[in-house]
């Protein structure tokens, strides 16, 4: 039986790796999800197979409740709610790691080796930090806690002291096998998860969500060693490493330090307007009919989608308009910034939902060089990812952040509700350029007007 279970766990682990690979592209995402589902079914079935006198009623009830809640959320969650949903899921992974570790500690029939004690310590404290940090991230993303950073004097020193105390309790547990010390370590880690995240503003939450994804993976891997479960170790390590890689990519995309993210408190919102002359600025506005005329008579159009597109659910109408332009002989493409929306891949999924052809969707590195030769750029619901201050204003808090270079196009059309700042709290000089035209209104209503105008 041991050999059979090892082979089944290996098959499940391979399927998890294939799932991750499949999820790296919208083209193969469905297949990747299928691999993941099959792998999880095999892993759960194998666990039941090797369990010694499992309490089937209790386990079945918990699984049924989780499946019902998961199915409900999957069917009802809006695309705009995905970031906070992911953060909430990370919190459950962290909490699971903590509860499993505590159950293992208080299990009267178990004795733990030195290695297992270290694994329990690592899995529990990472899980505890992940749990409370994810709850705070969920609150910031959903607006329940507010997106502003919370900063006070001595914050980093407090975090350092709590980390030292946490490790101290961990050492006490290791040396004296003290249950009280282990629980105290978990309690400190829970508080540390809060203090690490509260100084991070809403504009940086996409990076935080990605890093918490990594933390949850490492927590699962740590507990996998304790349970001697190879598929949990492999799956957790895959999630942890892929989350860390994604966090690094996002940090580069947002001009952040990966070390600062790991330590928590790269600090404040990217708030405050860029330095420059005060007072009102002049901008040019137009109608949806004007915008449709410009794009219908262009040779090339690049569409830059942002979070505002997701909020208004305008992706289907936008694709209808893009199809109409294509039929008129216009070369239409979509430009995706790594942190467009509020989580990695947000815009890709949104456009896939509207059946946008994959070959029309290009990443920032692929399309940035084409903006200078593009007739019209349509920026819809985006702000910070096209802000020229990132390249031109050294006093700006986003200076050095890679952007989609929409300002290089011959004409730029920006769809926004108002002249308010974006998620990072910065004004955007792109709005005031002579080549730019603002079209005010709800994104979906504006795009529907574009479709009507193009149809005439």
Question: Residue 196: is its pLDDT beyond 50?
Answer: yes
Sequential DSSP letters for 217-275: HHHHHHHHHHHT-HHHHHHHHHHHHHHHHHHHHHHHHHT--HHHHHHS---S-S-SPPS
Annotation says 384 is catalytic: yes
Residue 202 is predicted with a pLDDT of 63
Q: How far apart are CA 234 and CA 8, in angstroms?
A: 13
Residue 280 is predicted with a pLDDT of 65
Q: Which is the catalytic residue, given 384, 427, 429, 449?
A: 384
Question: Residue 135: is its pLDDT beyond 50?
Answer: yes
Between 75-84, 315-324, 431-440, the lowest mean confidence (pLDDT) is in: 75-84
Residue 90 is predicted with a pLDDT of 86
Residues 189-193 have a mean pLDDT of: 95
Greater pLDDT, 2 or 224: 224
Residues 59-75 have a mean pLDDT of: 89
Residue 271 is predicted with a pLDDT of 38
Residue 269 is predicted with a pLDDT of 42
Question: Residue 139: is its pLDDT beyond 80?
Answer: yes
Residue 131 is predicted with a pLDDT of 94
Residues 332-342 have a mean pLDDT of: 85
Residues 140-155 have a mean pLDDT of: 77
Greater pLDDT, 51 or 42: 42
Question: Residue 115: is its pLDDT beyond 90?
Answer: no
Residues 277-281 have a mean pLDDT of: 58
Average pLDDT, the chain: 86
Greater pLDDT, 317 or 223: 317
Residue 342 is predicted with a pLDDT of 67
Residue 276 is predicted with a pLDDT of 43
Sequence-distant (6+) residues with CB within 8 A of 118 are 174
Residue 274: pLDDT band (50, 70, 90) is very low
Residue 208: pLDDT band (50, 70, 90) is confident
Highest averaged pLDDT of the listed ranges 15-24, 139-148, 292-301, 420-429: 292-301
Residue 184 is predicted with a pLDDT of 97
Residues 159-167 have a mean pLDDT of: 95
- SS3 track for 399-413: CCCCCCCHHHCCEEE
Between 4-8, 342-346, 443-447, the lowest mean confidence (pLDDT) is in: 342-346
Question: Residue 3: is its pLDDT beyond 90?
Answer: no
Q: How far apart are CA 388 and CA 403, in angstroms?
A: 8
Residue 147: pLDDT band (50, 70, 90) is low
Residues 212-238 have a mean pLDDT of: 86
Residues 427-439 have a mean pLDDT of: 93
Question: Residue 401: is its pLDDT beyond 80?
Answer: yes
Residues 63-78 have a mean pLDDT of: 87
Residue 150 is predicted with a pLDDT of 79
Residue 262 is predicted with a pLDDT of 60
Greater pLDDT, 311 or 273: 311
Question: Residue 343: is its pLDDT beyond 80?
Answer: no
Residue holding tokens 């694709």? 319
Residues 65-74 have a mean pLDDT of: 88
Residue 279: pLDDT band (50, 70, 90) is low
Tell me, rounded to whole angstroms, the distance of Cα 37 from its chain centroid. Answer: 21
pLDDT digits (tens, 9 = 90+) for 409-418: 999 999 998 8
Greater pLDDT, 426 or 122: 122
């Amino acid at each position: 039986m041991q050999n059979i279970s090892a082979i089944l766990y290996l098959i499940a682990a391979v399927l998890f790796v294939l799932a991750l690979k499949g999820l790296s592209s919208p083209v193969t995402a469905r297949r990747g999800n299928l691999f993941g589902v099959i792998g999880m079914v095999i892993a759960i079935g194998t666990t039941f197979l090797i369990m010694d006198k499992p309490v089937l009623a209790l386990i079945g009830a918990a699984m049924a409740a989780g499946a019902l809640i998961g199915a409900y959320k999957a069917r009802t969650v809006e695309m705009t709610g995905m970031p906070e949903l992911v953060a909430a899921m990370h919190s459950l992974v962290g909490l699971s790691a903590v509860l499993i570790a505590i159950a293992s500690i208080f299990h009267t029939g178990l004795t733990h080796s030195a290695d297992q004690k270290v694994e329990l310590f690592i899995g529990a404290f990472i899980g505890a930090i992940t749990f409370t940090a994810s709850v705070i991230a969920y609150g910031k993303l959903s607006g329940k806690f507010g997106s502003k950073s919370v900063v006070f004097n001595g914050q980093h020193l407090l975090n350092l002291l709590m980390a030292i105390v946490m490790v101290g309790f961990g050492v006490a547990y290791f040396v004296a096998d003290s249950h009280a010390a282990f629980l105290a370590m978990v309690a400190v880690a829970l508080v540390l998860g809060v203090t690490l995240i509260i100084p991070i503003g809403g504009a940086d939450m996409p990076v935080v969500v990605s890093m918490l994804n990594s933390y949850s993976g490492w927590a699962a891997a740590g507990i996998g060693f304790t349970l001697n479960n190879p598929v949990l170790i492999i799956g957790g390590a895959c999630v942890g490493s892929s989350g860390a890689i994604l966090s690094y990519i996002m940090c580069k995309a947002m001009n952040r330090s990966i070390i600062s993210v790991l330590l928590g408190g790269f600090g404040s919102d990217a708030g405050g307007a860029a330095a420059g002359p005060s007072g009102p600025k002049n901008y040019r506005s137009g109608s949806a009919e004007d915008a449709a005329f410009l794009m219908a008579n262009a040779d090339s159009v690049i569409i830059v989608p942002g979070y505002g597109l997701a909020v208004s659910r305008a992706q289907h109408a936008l694709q209808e308009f893009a199809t109409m332009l294509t039929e008129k002989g216009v070369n239409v493409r979509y430009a995706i910034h790594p942190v467009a929306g509020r989580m990695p891949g947000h815009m890709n999924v949104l456009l896939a939902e509207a059946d946008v052809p994959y070959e029309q969707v290009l990443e920032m590195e692929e399309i940035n060089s084409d903006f200078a030769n593009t007739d019209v750029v349509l920026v819809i619901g985006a702000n910070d990812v096209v802000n020229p201050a990132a390249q031109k204003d050294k006093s700006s808090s986003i200076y050095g952040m890679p952007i989609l270079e929409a300002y290089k196009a011959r004409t730029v059309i920006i769809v926004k509700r108002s002249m308010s700042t974006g998620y990072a709290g910065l004004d955007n000089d792109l709005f005031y350029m002579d080549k730019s035209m603002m079209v005010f209104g709800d994104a979906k209503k504006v795009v529907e007007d574009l479709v009507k105008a193009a149809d005439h």
